[in-house]
Each structure stands twice: as structure tokens, then as C-alpha cells.
Structure 1
Amino acid sequence: MDSTDKAILSFLQENVEIPVADIAEQVGLTTTPCWRRIQRLQKQGVISKKVALLSAQKLGLTMTVFVQIKAGRHDGKWLDKFAQYASAFDEVVEFYRMSGEYDYLLKVLVTDMASFDYFYKRFVNGIDVKDVTSSFAMEQIKYATALPLNHL
């Protein structure tokens, strides 16, 4: 990956709908070589998907909750079952296995406290976990979908 690929990726992360001709002009290429680079980046999996980013606020998803979970067990079968179980909830928009005191971290988006309570009851009643704690985000300071490219 060279500086031109990095520049193309930077433009695409800001607006995937920008015409290839405009990107090409900005990075000093003609349209066809720029298009070929984008195709190569897609084929390599660097560009994994093109999506529309929606506004959680405009959709009424005004409450962000970080749910930390201690596993009920640590065998592979339970871990696979838990991963499938937690991933199936639409409210869970991010899901991580962690090091440290808690085993898993979920980022949950809901409309209000009643919606979170409904989610929480369904979640804890469906699978055995040792401990669950929730933290409510009071303010979103930074939200970015663009990945850092400075290391390339």
C-alpha cells in the first residue's frame, strides 16, 4: 500500500459516494487507474463494505449503555453459545471479548431507560452469566467511523 492508496482510502472514508473521477483528480491519477486501485483494495479486503451511516439521535436511539459481563463458565461450548446469543440482539451494536475484570463488553443503543430495562431482562433471563454491570453514557465526546491511516 502506497501513499496514493492511503489518500484514496482517506477520501472514501469521508464519503464513499464521491465520484471516482474526483478522487482521481485529488490523488493525481486518471479515472481508470484510480478505479483499478479501489477494485484492488476491495478484492484485498481493505475495503470490506460500503454502508450508509445512520444518525442514532435522529432515529430516537438516544441512550448508549456499556454492559460489562463476567462469564458464567469459560469452556469453549459456552463461549460459542454466548457469542451467538449476545450477537442476536439488535440493540447490541458492538461486542468485544475483553481482558481484565470483565470478560465481555457490549455497546447497546436504546431509546430510553424502559427500552434498556426490556433489553436487560431478556438478556439476563436467556443465558447464565456470573455478573452484569451497566454504565450509561452521559455525553458522546467523539464518534468516528474513519480508521486511522497514519501508520501506513
Structure 2
Amino acid sequence: MNAQLDGLDRKILAQLQEDASLSLDEIARKVGSSKTPVWNRIRKLKAAGVIGRQTVLLDPLSLGLEACFFVLVRTSEHDADWQARFLATLKARPEVMEAHRLAGDIDYILKVRVKNAKAYDDFYQALIAEVKIFNVTALLSMEEIKSTTVLPVGADERPVA
């Protein structure tokens, strides 16, 4: 279900995505409104599920997490029990930053952030000990060219259904 967003909603969302620590006064000033309407809209956007949890973005390199692997998983298992075990295993592993079920030859892709190749191997060994996997291919990211959490909200005046 798509939320009905007007231009002011979009401007507020753009500001929050840029810096969620801004005060209501700062957001209101930047979007050309006053504090009370901005607060009411943020509250409604949260209630509608447009705004989820708020968090802090950490720098992985500062934390010693220098290796980013994209892990391609193919499985010959497609029953509900296997999938439940696999998903529970992924959710329990803090190294897994993202996991997606795919259409096509590859069943899943994982984004895994670890210190080094040895830490990746430890992750891999733990994964295959938990669930049966047909094939795993790990691709080491040599350089992160773009990474963002900002969604394109189009902070213009056009309403979207």
C-alpha cells in the first residue's frame, strides 16, 4: 500500500533521511513550515509506517570490518522447513547486513561484512553447518563505489498515490 504524500511530506522525509538528528525547528525551517505541522506530519508518517525505526549509521572501516562479501547461494532445498532454518540462521548472524531472495539461477544474495577472509571463512563454515546449501559463491568487494540508505522521495510538490 502506498501512502499519500504531498510535497511537504516529501521535503520532511528528505530532511530526515539526510539527518534524523535535526530538531523540529531545524526541519521546519528547512522545509518552509512551522514546528507544529511538521511534528503532526512526522507523527502521521510514523503511524502510516512510512517512517520506521530511527538509527545511527556506523563506519564499518572504523570498526575494523574491512571486508565486504556478496555471497550467492544456490540451494536444492525449497521446502518451508529448510527456508525457515535458513532465514533463522541469517537473522542470528550479525555479519549479514542484507539478504535477498532472488528470481533466476541464484536463490539468495547476502551482503556480509567481516574483518577479513578468515572471518568470512568462519561465517561460511557456521552457515553450512546450520543448513544444507547446494552451492555458495563469495565475491569480495574491492571498492564500495556507492552506498546509501536514502530513498528517492522526490521532494517536489507532486502528490503520489
Q: TM-score range by the shorter chain?
A: over 0.9
Amino acid at match of 2:120: F
Do structure 1's residue 107 and structure 2's residue 111 form an aligned pair? yes
Q: Which residue does the alignment assign to 2:8?
A: 4
Q: Could you tell me whether the CA contact under 8 Å between 1:98 and 1:105 is conserved in 2?
A: yes
1:37 equivalent to 2:41? Answer yes
Please list the CA deviations of residues 58-80 of structure 1 after superposition, one character each: whole Å capped at 9, or x if unmatched. Answer: 00111000111112311122112
Asked whether 1:26 is paired with 2:30, we answer: yes
Q: Deviations 1:34-92 (Å, cap 9, x if unpaired)?
A: 11111111111100011011100100111000111112311122112211112211111
Distance 2:115 2:75 in 1: 27
* Aligned positions of 1:3-152 closer than 5 A: 3-150=7-154, 152=160
Report the TM-score when normalising by structure 2.
0.90
Distance 2:38 2:136 in 1: 49
Q: Which runs of 5+ in 2 are unaligned?
A: none
Contact persistence 2:82–2:131 (CA under 8 A) = no
Kindly report the root-mean-square deviation, in angstroms, between the aligned alpha carbons of the 2 structures.
Answer: 1.2
SS in 2 for 1:108: strand
Aligned-partner SS, 2:62: coil
Which fold has the larger relative contact order, with Cα–Cα distance below 8 Å and residues 6 or more apart in sequence? 2
Scaled by the length of structure 1, what TM-score is found?
0.95
Q: How many residues align?
A: 152
Shift of 1:28: 2.0
- Divergent runs of 4+, >4 A: none
Local SS of the residue matching 2:149: coil
> What percent of counterpart residues are identical?
36
